[in-house]
């Protein structure tokens, strides 16, 4: 029978320590509610003594959510614990998370102490926290580089003092999976009262091992994992929640189960990315835009015949509408036929072969193949009246920012203007006035692809119509023009039957 694996989400504490990704209290409440809907068991809401803002966030999150345990971080310092307890006063279920460094590096160079003094301070902090809440978690910072026997000693004393959860952080991301698993196993076998507490993993990704170390910890007896959405966090990041949850879901021989509502994973990932202005890398496992995209002809043919040939996860299980069959010069006939079928063009045999040869020539010279490109190849157009071309873009700033665009929609010329928070915003709003798309702009990335003052900017845009994504790409020395081109590119990929009537 499977045991419960507690999901401890620290996106709002460790995750928010990423430079430039700080959230205000209102945004943190939005994230906390999303995490509650996702099904996490514990939300580490902040480090209350660190700032008035963090203190207030813990207070307000405690008021806003009901189901998860709300956890507040502290050092092994009485004042920290007092402030953490005060911040948790509205929590339906509160936990104080206190601890101290346990590696020789931390004991000697950071804390300038001795092992015996560290144990005394740990015990004192746990007992002090226990005066406020029943649920006390003790973290043994830098446990990944600690001496195992000393770690066992301090863990035993922390549990004796009242700790209900013991956190074993690989703070520097140093461990290999076998090493980290051996640490957990050593505690299970050598701490006499270990059955009175839950062992937690907390792994960093400095060597790219965070998820592997966490899974190894679970396989060796840990029953709480400390994770973040998208794997964000200090330096190279923390363990990715979505990776751990889906690894466990895929591997039925790991005898644990979580309470995560997996179809909400993708939506939550995008929320965090948007609020923290931290793009998800395209090849990120589970939630990257290429996680379920196939461009190789061999892979595309296999997926179209039977999804599990090349996918171990059904995209719908994590909230992605469907796999993407991306047309490139490496695509095969099966992928081309799949896209033509979707456009209502049925080709078989020699006719398909002839179009495929022309397609390969086009794909070698054009990075992104559009529906119009495919229809051109077969000498056929479906409702040309909805195809959009960007004719002209202009913008100015005289106290307020205003932009004007001219579009060719089918054979008609349309113009519109709008003000905005910036020239890009104003231009996109102008386009929306003409096209009136029923879409949401979900992702907008700008990247310089050349050096110098005449940089060429590459724009990637992702728009959503319902749960279906459409991508737009462009490059230009003018960021505003590139943005408009990418937006139009994405709009043109929406099937004709789903487009909104042009104004």
- Residue 381: CB atoms within 10 Å: 12
CA distance to 13, 50, 56, 453, per residue, from 22 (Å): 10, 13, 14, 30
Q: What does residue 133 show for φ and ψ, rounded to 5 degrees?
A: -135, 155
Q: Regarding beta strands 293-294 and 94-101, do their DSSP bridges make them parallel or antiparallel, or are they unpaired?
A: unpaired
3-state secondary structure of 243: helix
List the Cα angle 179/260/289 in 5-degree steps: 80
Q: What does residue 180 show for φ and ψ, rounded to 5 degrees?
A: -65, -45
- Residue 28: CB atoms within 10 Å: 26
Tokens representing 255 are 């005898």
Cβ-contact 470, 459 below 8 angstroms? no
Residue 8 parent element (H or E):
strand 6-9
Cβ-contact 226, 170 below 8 angstroms? no
Q: Is 398 labelled a binding residue? A: no
Cβ-contact 473, 495 below 8 angstroms? no
Cβ-contact 390, 405 below 8 angstroms? yes
What is the 8-class DSSP label of residue 110?
I
Question: Which phi-psi region, left, alpha or beta, contains residue 179 (left: φ > 0; alpha: ψ -120 to 50)?
Answer: alpha
| C-alpha span between 403 and 391 (Å, rounded) | 14
Q: Is 170 labelled a binding residue? A: no
List the Cα angle 236/240/243 in 5-degree steps: 135
Q: Regarding beta strands 400-409 and 388-398, do their DSSP bridges make them parallel or antiparallel, or are they unpaired?
A: antiparallel
- Residue 185: CB atoms within 10 Å: 16
Please enumerate in sequence order all residues whose Cβ is within 8 A of that of 461, keeping only pairs 6 or more positions apart, or say none. Answer: 441, 443, 444, 445, 471, 472, 473, 483, 486, 487, 489, 490
- Residue 434: CB atoms within 10 Å: 17
Q: Is 97 labelled a binding residue? A: no
- In 3D space, the residue among 171, 173, 179 whose CA is nearest the CA of residue 143 turns out to be 171
Tokens representing 402 are 């205003």
| C-alpha span between 254 and 256 (Å, rounded) | 6
Q: Is 186 labelled a binding residue? A: no
SS3 for 54-68, per residue?
HHHHHHHHHHHCCCC
3-state secondary structure of 13: coil
Annotated binding site: 14, 202, 204, 238
Annotated binding site for Mn(2+): 14, 202, 204, 238
């Amino acid at each position: 029978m499977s045991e419960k694996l507690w999901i401890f989400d620290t996106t709002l504490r460790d995750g928010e320590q990423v430079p430039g990704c700080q959230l205000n209290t209102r945004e943190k409440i939005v994230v906390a509610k999303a995490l509650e809907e996702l099904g996490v068991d514990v939300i580490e809401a902040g480090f209350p003594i660190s700032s008035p803002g963090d203190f207030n966030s813990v207070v307000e999150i405690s008021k806003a959510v009901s189901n998860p345990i709300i956890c507040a971080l502290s050092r092994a310092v009485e004042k920290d614990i007092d402030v953490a307890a005060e911040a948790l006063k509205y929590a339906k279920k509160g936990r104080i998370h206190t601890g101290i460094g346990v590696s020789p590096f931390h004991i000697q160079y950071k804390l300038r102490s001795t092992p015996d003094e560290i144990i005394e301070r740990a015990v004192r902090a746990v007992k002090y926290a226990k005066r406020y809440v029943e649920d006390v978690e003790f973290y043994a910072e830098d446990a990944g580089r600690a001496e195992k026997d000393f770690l066992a000693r301090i863990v035993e004393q922390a549990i004796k003092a009242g700790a209900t959860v013991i956190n074993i952080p690989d703070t520097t991301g140093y461990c290999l999976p076998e090493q980290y698993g051996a640490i957990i196993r050593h505690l299970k076998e050598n701490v006499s009262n270990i059955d009175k507490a839950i062992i937690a993993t907390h792994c960093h990704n400095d060597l790219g091992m965070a998820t592997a170390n966490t899974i190894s910890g679970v396989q060796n007896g840990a029953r709480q994992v400390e994770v973040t959405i998208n794997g964000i966090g200090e330096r190279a990041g923390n363990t990715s929640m979505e990776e751990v949850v889906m690894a466990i879901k895929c591997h039925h021989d790991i005898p644990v189960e979580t309470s995560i509502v997996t179809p909400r994973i993708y939506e939550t990932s995008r929320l965090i990315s948007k609020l923290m202005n931290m793009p998800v890398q395209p090849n990120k496992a589970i939630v990257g835009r290429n996680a379920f995209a196939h461009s190789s002809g061999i892979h595309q043919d296999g997926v179209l015949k039977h999804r599990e040939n090349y996918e171990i996860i059904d995209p719908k299980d994590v909230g992605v509408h469907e796999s993407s069959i991306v047309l490139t010069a490496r695509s095969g006939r099966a992928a081309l036929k799949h896209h033509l079928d979707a456009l209502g063009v049925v080709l078989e045999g020699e006719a398909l072969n002839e179009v495929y040869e022309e397609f390969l020539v086009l794909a070698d010279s054009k990075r992104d193949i559009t529906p119009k490109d495919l229809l051109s190849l077969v000498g056929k157009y479906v409702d040309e009246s909805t195809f959009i071309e960007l004719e002209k873009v202009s913008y100015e700033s005289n106290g307020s920012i205003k932009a004007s665009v001219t579009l060719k929609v089918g054979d008609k010329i349309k113009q519109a203007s709008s003000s905005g928070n910036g020239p890009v915003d104003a231009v996109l709003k102008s386009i929306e006035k003409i096209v009136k798309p029923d879409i949401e702009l979900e992702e907008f990335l700008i990247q310089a692809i050349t050096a110098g003052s005449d940089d060429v900017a590459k724009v990637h845009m992702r728009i959503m119509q319902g749960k279906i994504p459409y991508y737009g790409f462009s490059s230009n020395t003018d960021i505003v023009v590139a943005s408009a081109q990418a937006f139009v590119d994405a709009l043109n990929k929406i099937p004709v039957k789903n487009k909104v009537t042009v104004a």
